[in-house]
Amino acid sequence: MIISFEGLDGCGKSTQIIKLKKYLESLGKKVKVLREPGGNSISEKIRDILLDKKNLNMVFETELLLYLSSRAQLIKEEIIPLLESNHIVLLDRFIDSTTAYQGYGRGLDIEVIENLNNFVTLNGKYIPDLTFFISLDPKVSLNRVTTRGEEINRMETAKFEFFEKVHEGFQLIQQKNPNRMIKIDGSLEPNEVFESLKGKMEKRIKI
Ligand code: TYD
């Protein structure tokens, strides 16, 4: 089973992923968390290129194809073997980030992106069973990013309007895929967010 987490930078995905991992492990499940871009040595190198602030001249088409390359590698090298050995795979970002950031955010053709996502997921065979969209006001999430004390990466140097478009993009993707994608209010306290997420998950899928 694949469960992905989506949302703006600073929306609280990573905290929720850790909580869900612990919960699923307490039920005796084998769980693996992978992050995108990254998750294996080739994809981590691609991640370095994508997030390096020295690469401010990267064109959007290059950016798109690098995210897709990283995903192609992750799916064949990590996700497929993990699923075969009966793991639940928790993904910190996946296909919807590309549609939201490169499609709605950068303005690249959504249909091209959907086709590329379809191509690397082997005709949709490896799309998530469930996706949590942690929804948070772009102002709040960006404020978290700039105050968390970590250096900001190339993607985070974008203008505020970009993140607003990405946020709207996630809403639209969720509306288009209501069966797979569940919207979670990320403005609550982390334990409350988790309770809501767990409740909604247990209604949708049998763990
Ligand atoms: P990261 O530091 O992992 O951010 P976060 O903790 O918010 O996930 O950086 C990943 C960045 O890459 C983030 O700004 C979102 C962006 N991204 C895309 O633009 N397209 C994609 O397909 C993916 C997977 C990520």
Check if the beta carbon of residue 131 is closer than 8 Å to that of residue 4.
yes
Q: Which two tokens stand for residue 200?
A: 């909604």
Query: Which one, of 69, 75, 188, lies nearest residue 134 by Cα?
Result: 188
What CATH code is carried by the domain that includes residue 89? Answer: 3.40.50.300
Question: What is the pLDDT confidence band of residue 207, given thresholds at 50, 70 and 90?
Answer: confident
What percentage of the chain has pLDDT greater than the value 90? 98
Q: Express each pLDDT in 103-128 by its tens digit.
A: 999 999 999 999 999 999 999 999 99
For residue 9, the enclosing domain spans 2-204
pLDDT of residue 138: 97
Instruction: Enumerate the β-bridge partners of residue 144.
Output: none
Note the pTM of the prediction, 2 decimals. 0.97
Measure the CA–CA gap between 145 and 41, rounded to whole angstroms: 26
| CA distances for 91 relative to 54, 97, 111, angstroms | 27, 11, 23
Question: What is the pLDDT confidence band of residue 187, given thresholds at 50, 70 and 90?
Answer: very high
Give the chain's domain count. Answer: 1
Q: Is residue 163 scored above 90 in pLDDT?
A: yes
Instruction: Enumerate the β-bridge partners of residue 132.
Output: 5, 182
Please choose from 48, 93, 96 the residue to mutate so as to test ligand 1's pocket, defined by most ligand atoms within 8 A of CB.
93
Q: Is 88 helix (H, G, I), strand (E, B) or coil?
A: strand
Question: What is the pLDDT confidence band of residue 162, given thresholds at 50, 70 and 90?
Answer: very high
CA of 37 to the centre of ligand 1 (A): 7
pLDDT of residue 201: 97
Any atom of ligand 1 within 6 Å of the Cβ of 163: no
Q: What is the dihedral of CA 118, 20, 39, 182, to 10 degrees?
A: 20
CA of 36 to the centre of ligand 1 (A): 7
